[in-house]
Amino acid sequence: MIKLAKAFYRGFIGGPSFDNCTHYRFILEDKLLTLDMPSSNVAAVPSTIDVSFPYNSKSWFNQHKEDYFHHVYVHMLTKNWMYLPPVSYLPSSEYGMLSCQLRIKQTNKINALDAVQLKRFVIESYDDFHWGPDGRNTEIKKDTTLESSKMAVPFEPDELEEEILGRIETRGYPPLPAAKEVILNNRQWVFYQVKRNNSLSRQDFYCLPLSEHAFLEVEFNHRIDRSDKHKKWAKHALESQQRIMESIKLSDSPPEHDNLIADNSKSD
Amino acid sequence: MSWSKLNKTIDAHSVIPLDALSCRDFGVNLPANFPFNKAKFTCQALAMLSQLNDYDLKMVCADIIQICANPNATNSIKHSRNPLRRLWRTKYPFRNYHFLIRYTLEENNISITDILFDKQLEGAKNNFAAERTMLYEVKRQSSHTYDKAMNDDEIKKVQGAWERIPTPTTQIKTQHAAVNGMQNELTKAAWLMGTHLDRAYEGDGIKAYTLFHNPTDYTKLDLIECAFDKRSGTKSHNAQHLAAVLAQNNQQGKQVKWLAHSQGAIIFCAALEHYRIHYGKPLTGQQLAVHGSGSNVERLKRIAHSVGVKVVSVRNNPYDLVPNLADRSKISSSSLVRSLKFKGLVTDGSVGESPHTLPFLGLVTYAAQLQMLGNNEKADIVRKFIKTLPPTDARL
């Protein structure tokens, strides 16, 4: 009863609960990455997770990499938390889901240790992908130009530009706000957001340089299923995100943690 | 011998005056009250009109009639403040349709030059109530699909397996199509219906599908919409629109494999009833799979059979309250009690837990998912029920 009253006061149930946290340790070559992550509240099969990540090794990266849109990365850890109504009388009432994913990225295009270069790189990789030969924005531009050429009264050049930008806003990938630097646990992270004007769902990314050609990326995916209820849990999700980020600590690894095979045989 | 004389003076820019009969030569049926003396079309605008289904055409014509009445208005995008427009679900809830009509004013006549999707009105919106009933083509982004109990990373990947921002389309150009259920905004419906289609038509290797998006108007109005479609009178504007899409498919000889989820099944049933009254021709080549049916399955099967639609599969979780309540013809005290025990999971469940939102993968998988969440009591109930079923039962 008290739980229900509390849920009504908060306006939701679910989300990350820091009463039920798991402490994770990852070996990043000569460094130790630790963090506290609340358990998922989504029905998920327990998975084996690697604990060692030789982030400078190109062969290791190529062997384990995955890609999704402009992201090419090696997965480390994912957790999902649903936000739900305190009491609901209809199906599909989920408010939304917050996901957190840690991953390693490599690049030889920049010196990742330089925050200015890294800030530019993360935004440019998004633009380059969507404006690339097979990118969605390129396709929209091509289709709109073709459509205009077939119209009885084609768009004037400035109208065409406006139409392309308008369509990119609604069904393409509009420009991102500039990346910025944030300090967490005395370390400088690069922060950027992938968001759009016609949707409340967004992804927040934090990047921490590990070496000249590798960096750690933490993604927080805010999936909003009901716009009218987002206000209820937005603050909690943001506070949870901040708390998880503050728990991430990178320190020098103790010498006994140098056996990759032994480390990777451990499971969650 | 046959011959055709080409009129080389006509091109996309040519303005064509029409009347009630000549418009049919261009494949366009304009309503009887259309102001033919005031509006002219370019060939390009007529070509676009001929691509539209009956419902879209009716709504675009209503907008053109409005323009003819007020040709000097600077902007016609205005939301209605009449609350009954939203409540009365047979009426279109917006004052204007989602097409941009470009026209020029010549003396007292208007010349419609082009008709295209309005970029301000299509697609996802921050306020879901502003989303429109539209057809969207959704392309697959990755091969991930919901076919077993999954780990956290796989659950995240499944939600990204389909385009988040689909492209509006005037016609169904894919082999598969889906109608979503209640309280599904566009971005959620896009991945969820892709996931359901994967299960409904396993082995088809679906690369893209067309979403008939039934936008949410929040809880109460979504429920009222269900009531409008379940009664025998005029159906909701969604059902009328879907009936026109089905009629267009039939006219073009397209074979489409449909999926209807939850309220989508109610809309599909209502659309078939509307189709039978207003179109009547047999619907050949349309197949339907039903998941988590919000409609009475027997009623849906009956009307589908009468218009020639083949219902290929019905996939309902025995612990899902929605189909148990909807299918009153088959309800038994035991099935109702069984699903009522799990009511909390339908309404408050999460991904992988609710027996309603995601596709039903069988009772064995469902019991395993409940156990993963630490819900051992409910998992035991499911396992006890499994023991009462013959090993060949499809629900396992």
pLDDT digits (tens, 9 = 90+) for A192-218: 999 999 999 999 999 999 999 999 999
Task: Tell me which chain A residues have a C-beta less than 8 angstroms from the C-beta of B124.
Answer: 170, 198-199
Residue with tokens 């295009």: A109
Taking an 8 Å cut-off on Cβ atoms, the answer to whether B188 and A87 are in contact is no
pLDDT digits (tens, 9 = 90+) for A5-17: 888 888 898 899 9
pLDDT digits (tens, 9 = 90+) for B123-181: 999 888 889 999 999 999 999 888 877 888 888 898 899 998 899 999 999 999 999 99
pLDDT digits (tens, 9 = 90+) for A146-176: 999 988 889 999 999 999 999 999 999 999 9
Average pLDDT, chain A: 90
Cα separation values, A141 from A144, A149, B104, B136, B200, Å: 5, 12, 26, 19, 35
Rounded CA separation A247/B200 (Å): 43
Cβ-in-10-Å burial (0-12, 13-18, 19+) of B381 comes to middle
> How many A/B residue pairs have CB atoms within 8 Å?
170
Rounded CA separation B59/B224 (Å): 23
pLDDT for B7 equals 57
d(CA B178, nearest CA chain A) in Å:
17
What ranges do the domains of chain A cover? 2-123+177-264
pLDDT for B380 equals 80
pLDDT digits (tens, 9 = 90+) for A15-33: 999 998 999 999 999 899 9
CB-closest option in A92, A200, A228 to B357: A92
The DSSP secondary-structure symbol of B148 reads S
Rounded CA separation B252/A155 (Å): 31
Radius of gyration of chain A (CA): 21
Task: Tell me which chain A residues have a C-beta less than 8 angstroms from the C-beta of B154.
Answer: 44
Q: What are the structural domains of chain B?
A: 15-117 (3.30.2310), 128-315 (3.40.50), 325-396 (no CATH)
Taking an 8 Å cut-off on Cβ atoms, the answer to whether B160 and A45 are in contact is no
Rounded CA separation B137/B162 (Å): 11
pLDDT for A257 equals 53
CB-closest option in A42, A84, A90 to B152: A42
Rounded CA separation B215/B133 (Å): 6
pLDDT digits (tens, 9 = 90+) for A84-102: 888 766 667 889 999 999 9
The DSSP secondary-structure symbol of A13 reads E
pLDDT for B334 equals 59
Residue of A nearest to B142 (CA): A68
pLDDT digits (tens, 9 = 90+) for B341-393: 555 554 444 444 455 677 777 777 777 777 776 677 777 887 887 877 777 77
Taking an 8 Å cut-off on Cβ atoms, the answer to whether B119 and A151 are in contact is no
Q: Which helix (H) or strand (E) holds B154?
A: helix B152-159
Nearest one of B331, B343, B329, B387 to B363, comparing CA atoms: B387
For the four alpha carbons of B165, B169, B175 and B176, in that order, the dihedral sign comes to positive
Average pLDDT over residues A28-47: 88
CB-closest option in B12, B152, B262 to A40: B152
Taking an 8 Å cut-off on Cβ atoms, the answer to whether A199 and B262 are in contact is no
pLDDT for B81 equals 63
**If pLDDT is split at 50, 70 and 90, which confidence band does A256 have?**
low
Q: What is the pTM of this model?
A: 0.89
Tens-digit pLDDT profile for chain B (396 aa)? 555 554 556 666 778 777 777 888 878 888 888 898 888 888 888 889 999 999 999 999 999 998 888 877 766 555 566 667 777 788 888 888 999 999 988 877 888 999 999 988 899 998 888 899 999 999 999 998 888 778 888 888 988 999 988 999 999 999 999 999 988 999 999 999 999 999 999 989 999 999 999 999 888 888 888 888 888 888 999 999 999 999 999 999 999 999 999 899 999 999 999 999 999 899 989 999 999 888 888 999 999 999 999 999 998 877 777 776 666 555 555 555 555 555 555 444 444 445 567 777 777 777 777 777 667 777 788 788 787 777 777 776
pLDDT for A157 equals 94
The DSSP secondary-structure symbol of B352 reads T
